Amino acid sequence: MTNNNCPMVALIGRPNVGKSTLFNRITKSRKALVDSTPGVTRDRHYDRVTWNQRSFILVDTGGIDDNPEDLLVHHIREQAMAAIEEADIILFLMDGRQGVTPADYEVVEILRRTEKPIFHVVNKIDSPKQEIELLSQFYELGIEELWPLSAEHTYGFQGLMDGLCDKISVEEVDLSLPEDTVKVAFFGRPNVGKSTLLNNILGMKLSITSRKPQTTRHQILGVKTTGDIQAVYVDTPGIHQRRGTAINKYMNRAATSVLNDVDVILFVVQVKQWTEEDQAIVEKLASVECPVLLVLNKMDKLSSKKELLPLISELSSHYDFTEIVPVSAMNGMNVDALEKKVLTLLPENDHFYADDQVTDRSMRFLASEIIREKLIRELGQELPYTSTVDIDKYIEDPDIVRIHATIYVESAGQKAIIIGKKGARLKSIGTAARQDISKMVDSKVYINLWVKVREGWSNDERALRGLGYSE
Ligand SMILES: Nc1nc2c(ncn2[C@@H]2O[C@H](COP(=O)(O)OP(=O)(O)OP(=O)(O)O)[C@@H](O)[C@H]2O)c(=O)[nH]1
Ligand SMILES: [Mg+2]
């Protein structure tokens, strides 16, 4: 279930202390992004979480709630011992409203046997006033550091997550997927419709799209489970010949690195527009051993079907493609057939992600992408290519999500363009982003946008890493 360097964080505690509420809160960044097909499992006990550039597997060791009281202590003891054995970090939850119980004493004693980091969390504490009233009795357990929390209402949550992240180093994290994960990569030059195609296959808007080339800047994973096969589709930035700046190099690396570990390649081209860039990409594919399907996109632009056969015969001279599949990502034409073909090339596999999970990206990341999409769409040709979005704060309150984000540009002139007359442009970027994010998280959203000048960020490796462009 876990991969080599990704730490496992176990949630333990008596029934009803709020383990599942905390589990859902930590993983909630993706809860809005689950498949709504009826019948798919929702009973998840583990999930991969990325928080502040740290990744870990969170395990909810629930499932003992039906046991009679006398068996309970025995189960909790076992649960604690198993966590000591298998987990890297333990979150032990107690119930602030119920007070200290004999089982809590017992678990605390068991946990003293390990050197592993342990967070003694006292849940159901909703305010500073309650913290004063309820927390002190727990110091009887002889624990120096207690973490008051309201898993339900977020009190203490950010502090707990920061504390947890302090125990996980950024470098330690291995983001590679387990060996039996099957990856299908979209590959191609900018603007051919790779992201539109991914979204069409997933049946939801995950990867941002626009009429401008070089919209996608990162690898975006889209997970789709069909029966026994869980396919991980990977959208990549368009490979381009623009050399030079650090961000251009980053984007090309983000695209080509997918070739090191991929099971099927979907080489996407635009119908009747074979260019030098496509030719350069085909040359990169020479050393690839997995099946490569040529996806002929934007078929809706082809005036006559008669043109298709000669086109296919011409294109097949470029490479020994497993198959050439004409589609229209925009209107969905033949996308089902493409997906079916892909599935025939994939083995049945262990499902690393929950069957209803759509991506491994956090809502924080997706929010920054949506804001960037609105920026691109709002500015069209005027858009300074060298702009990016960084989320300063992403706060989930019970009835609203509050997002504070900064748009970075490289000059005061660019800043003025984005802000617009009396701030009108910036306002409509914020409104459009708020609507999309609100749909995704199924909650009210507030967005506060700033524009700042940071000269030369796009050609500065360190600045890029600080702004989320890290491999
Ligand atoms: N007519 C037509 N337009 C399409 C089709 N698929 C995508 N487009 C449009 O092509 C443009 C580029 O689409 P994207 O999905 O952003 O392309 P991409 O390959 O991901 O581009 P980069 O991320 O820049 O590499 C958008 O305006 C899409 O609406 C299609 O089947 N037909
Ligand atoms: Mg794209």
Per-residue pLDDT tens, the chain, 471 aa: give them: 334 468 899 998 887 888 888 888 887 654 445 554 443 333 447 777 877 767 888 888 764 444 555 566 777 778 888 888 889 999 999 999 999 998 899 899 999 999 999 999 999 999 999 999 999 999 999 998 999 999 988 889 988 998 998 898 765 445 566 677 899 999 999 999 999 999 999 999 999 999 989 999 999 999 999 999 999 999 999 998 876 789 989 999 999 999 988 999 999 999 999 999 999 999 999 989 999 999 999 999 998 889 999 999 999 999 999 999 999 999 999 999 999 999 999 988 888 887 888 888 888 889 999 999 999 999 877 666 689 999 998 887 778 999 999 999 999 999 999 999 999 999 999 999 999 999 988 889 999 999 999 999 989 888 888 888 876
Question: In angstroms, what is the span from residue 270 Cα to ligand 1's centroid?
Answer: 9
Helix or strand holding residue 363 (H, E): helix 363-379
Q: Minimum-distance ligand to the CA of 212? A: 1
pLDDT at 1: 35
Q: Where are the extended beta strands (E) located within 228-303? A: 229-235, 264-270, 292-297
Residue with CA at minimum distance from ligand 1 atom 16: 209
Which residues are CB-contacts of 349 (< 8 A; sequence separation ≥ 6)?
180, 181, 182, 228, 229, 230
Is residue 222 classed exposed, middle or buried when 0-12, 13-18 and 19+ CB atoms within 10 A define those classes? buried
> Within 13 Å and on the Cβ side, how many CA atoms surround 374?
23
Residue 105 carries which side chain, given as an amino acid letter? Y
Question: In angstroms, what is the span from residue 298 Cα to ligand 1's centroid?
Answer: 8
pLDDT at 420: 93
Nearest to 430 by CA among 444, 450, 415, 416: 450
Q: Is 99 left (phi over 0), alpha (psi -120 to 50) or beta?
A: left
Nearest to 372 by CA among 224, 207, 219, 251: 207
Strands 323-326 and 292-297, sheet pairing: parallel
Q: Are 435 and 408 within 8 A, CB to CB? A: no
Tokens 């992201």 belong to which residue?
195
Question: In angstroms, what is the span from residue 203 Cα to ligand 1's centroid?
Answer: 16
pLDDT at 68: 57
Question: In angstroms, what is the span from residue 167 Cα to ligand 2's centroid?
Answer: 35
Provide the b/e sequence for 159-189 (b: ≥16 CB within 10 Å): ebbeebeeebeeeebeeebeeebbbbbbbbb
Q: What is the DSSP letter of 199?
A: H
pLDDT at 139: 94
Residues near ligand 1 (Cβ within 6 A): 190-196, 209-211, 213-216, 237-238, 297-298, 300-301, 328-330
Question: In angstroms, what is the span from residue 376 Cα to ligand 2's centroid?
Answer: 13
Q: Which atom of ligand 1 is nearest to the CA of 196?
A: 15
pLDDT at 383: 65
Question: SS3 for 313?
Answer: helix
Question: In angstroms, what is the span from residue 210 Cα to ligand 2's centroid?
Answer: 8
Q: Minimum-distance ligand to the CA of 380? A: 1
Q: What is the DSSP letter of 152?
A: T
Q: Which atom of ligand 1 is nearest to the CA of 199?
A: 15
Is residue 351 classed exposed, middle or buried when 0-12, 13-18 and 19+ CB atoms within 10 A define those classes? middle
Residue with CA at minimum distance from ligand 1 atom 2: 298
- Helix 363-379 × helix 424-441 angle, to 10°: 140
pLDDT at 222: 94
Q: Minimum-distance ligand to the CA of 220? A: 2
Q: Where are the extended beta strands (E) located within 98-174? A: 118-123, 146-148
Q: Which atom of ligand 1 is nearest to the CA of 297?
A: 31
pLDDT at 43: 43
Nearest to 406 by CA among 430, 425, 388: 388
